[in-house]
Amino acid sequence: MLKKITSLGMLTVGILLLAVWMHRDSPKSTAFAQGADTCTRLINSCSSDCDEAVTCREEVLKKWVAQCKRNPLDADEIQQHIIAECNECNRRCRWFEGTWEGKGYQSNTKTSWTIRFTAQGDSYDIEYPSLSCGGKWYLLSKTSAQARFRERITYGREACVDSGLILLERVNSSELGFRWSENDSGPVLAAGRLRRQ
């Protein structure tokens, strides 16, 4: 009797091990494992373009990663939600995206001139058409209300000062405030308003 129970026990253990081994290689089990890996990667997904976006991103990840861990098989769909919602978070930081035009007034020379600023992705082009000069702005920092740039004049340097510090301020969705100074501690030497085109 003892021998039969042992044989039966061995058979049961063998069947259980076979079932576990077969389940391990089943498509559903593989998908579950892949989904779990994706859930882990979601924590590092989507970047944040400014401080406000960081807070927004944390809320997005908290919500969706928790759901992903509950049901890893939905990881691909959840990842699409995370990407879409993180993009919405970053829109808060891209308030100056597009083309803007206006006028600046320079206090030390008592002159005014035209401005054309174009922000497209990570490229920031600046033109001062009435002065026949222009170049690039390089982003230093941004929030949902302000952005700081370093200006590099690439043409017309005889008419424009190179390496100025630019401060853009969001007035509303269609208007920006513009300030130019030589450095962080220097006075504002030029200011103006830009309107979205």
Are the beta carbons of 170 and 91 closer than 8 angstroms? no
Question: What's the whole-model pTM score?
Answer: 0.64
The answer on 66 and 8 residing in a single domain is yes
Distances (CA, A) of 101 to 27, 31, 116: 58, 53, 4
Which H or E run includes 190? strand 188-196
The answer on 105 and 61 residing in a single domain is no
Half-sphere exposure of 3 (CA within 13 A, CB side): 0
What is the domain range of residue 77? 2-91
Q: Who has greater pLDDT, 46 or 121?
A: 121
Average pLDDT rounded to a whole number, residues 135-146: 93
CA pair distance 139, 95, nearest whole angstrom: 14
The answer on 170 and 112 residing in a single domain is yes
For residue 177, the model assigns a pLDDT of 98
pLDDT in tens, 86-133: 888 877 788 999 999 999 999 999 999 999 999 998 899 999 999 999
The answer on 124 and 161 residing in a single domain is yes
Q: Phi and psi of 90, rounded to 5°?
A: -70, -20
Domain edge (last residue) among 72, 91, 110: 91
Tell me how many domains the chain contains.
Answer: 2
Report the chain's mean pLDDT, rounded to a whole number: 81
The answer on 113 and 73 residing in a single domain is no
Question: What's the CATH number where 131 sits?
Answer: 2.40.128
The answer on 173 and 103 residing in a single domain is yes
Half-sphere exposure of 33 (CA within 13 A, CB side): 8
Length of the chain, please?
Answer: 197
The answer on 114 and 74 residing in a single domain is no
